[in-house]
Amino acid sequence: MSCADDVVAFVALGANLGDGAAALRAAVHALDTLPLVRVVARSSLYRTAPQQSRGPDYWNAVVKLHTAQSPDALLDALLQIEATMGRERISGAVNAPRTLDLDLLMYGTLHRQTPRLTLPHPRMALRAFVLAPLAEVWPEGAIGHVPVSELAAQRIAEGQAIEKLGPF
């Protein structure tokens, strides 16, 4: 797929129930088979302790996409992939353990805040488990004029432990 309307988007992947690494690999495959979506880069696989929650360690990664889908259609597709892979969204359960979590981090340069979707993702600059893999697939990237790699280093220096496991 390639067209003049392609937008670069970034999606964070996480899982801490079941075989998290396999879930992330399956999710990347599912993303790459969506209409008008192509995975163009994927980070290494990372392991992190849960933040502001309990449960097993998380497996994390970020992918870079080219897409001609709208942000809402892409969000719908992400939610469908989560559901297909067994994600249950329990009302009021924030940061609960999950089989798969797919977060749309950025959609081109779009800034948007609706009840359903905020872009860029409002908490991505606070999370080493997002920033470290994001820096791999977007080395020239910056959030608020601060390089993504610098933000990742700051979060790690603040005590957010993250372990790079290698390719997945």
What per-residue confidence (pLDDT) applies to 22? 94
Note if 6 is an active site residue: no
Note if 87 is an active site residue: yes
H-type alpha helices, 14-157: 20-32, 71-84, 128-137, 148-157
**Helix (H) and strand (E) counts for the chain?**
4, 10
Note if 98 is an active site residue: yes
What is the average pLDDT value for the chain, to the nearest integer? 91
pLDDT in tens, 8-26: 999 999 999 889 999 999 9
Catalytic residue selected from 101, 112, 116, 155: 101
pLDDT in tens, 50-63: 877 778 899 999 99
Residue 29 resides in a domain: yes
Catalytic residue selected from 32, 57, 72, 103: 103
Catalytic residue selected from 42, 87, 127, 155: 87
Kindly state the percentage of the chain with pLDDT values over 90: 76
Give, in order, the Cα–Cα distances in Å from 71 to each of 9, 89, 128.
Answer: 9, 21, 24
What per-residue confidence (pLDDT) applies to 95? 59
Domain range spanning residue 60?
A: 7-166
Residue 1 resides in a domain: no
Note if 127 is an active site residue: no
Residue 47 resides in a domain: yes
Q: How many C-beta atoms lie closer than 10 Å to residue 146's C-beta?
A: 12
107: domain CATH number is: 3.30.70.560
Residue 2 resides in a domain: no
Total domains in the fold of the chain: 1
Residue 130 φ then ψ, to 5°:
-100, -45
